[in-house]
Copies of this chain bind each other. A is one copy, B any other.
Amino acid sequence: MQTKKLLLFHPLKLPKNLSRDESLYEGFGEASPEAKASKNLHNFFNYIAVKIVSAQLQSYNPEAYKELMEFLNTHSLNDGDKFCASLMRESSRHKGLALRILEVRSAYCKHDFEWDNLKRLASKMVDESNTKLMREYVLETSPATEKETGK
């Protein structure tokens, strides 16, 4: 029974077969964590493409910019594909904007997004967050503070 505690608290590098175990990902339906994350990024790239296209329009085509802004007021960007499908069907001018967004989100994903930087920032964030959480807890429970000194 001592092994229970050891398994729970001993530092353990995750074995590959554990992390890939299907049963661990019931919450994802059929999708792997990578597929789930890429779906989120897909919607994020669509959002960025809309920002880029609208910034371009603002300078070069104020009329189209206004139309896109009006469409954004009544249509959510949470589901990027649904947004583009609706935009394509709004009018022939909106269809042109939608095609432009499809093009930009592809170029952004493949050429502009800094994938290596994403990995670096995520690793940095987990280190910094872990340190911060433990540090704050330690400070809170240190004898110098008034709180919880009895424990």
Residues in chain A within 8 A of chain B (CB atoms): 3-4, 7-9, 11-14, 16, 18-19, 21, 23-27, 32-42, 44-45, 47-48, 51-52, 55-57, 60-61, 64, 80-81, 84-85, 88-89, 95-100, 102-115, 117-119, 121-123, 125-127, 129-130, 132-134, 136-137
Interface of A: prevailing SS: helix
In the complex, residue of chain B having the shortest beta-carbon distance to the beta carbon of A6: B60
Q: Which residues of B contact A4 (CB under 8 A)?
A: 60-61
Could you tell me the distance in whole angstroms from the C-beta of A142 to the nearest C-beta in chain B? 14
Q: 9 interchain pairs (CB within 8 A)?
A: A8-B60, A14-B104, A18-B52, A19-B108, A19-B112, A24-B55, A39-B125, A99-B134, A115-B115
Could you tell me the distance in whole angstroms from the C-beta of A127 to the nearest C-beta in chain B? 7
Could you tell me the distance in whole angstroms from the C-beta of A128 to the nearest C-beta in chain B? 10
Copies of this chain, count:
2
Is there contact, CB below 8 Å, between A14 and B107? yes
Q: Which residues of B contact A89 (CB under 8 A)?
A: 137
Is there contact, CB below 8 Å, between A60 and B133? no
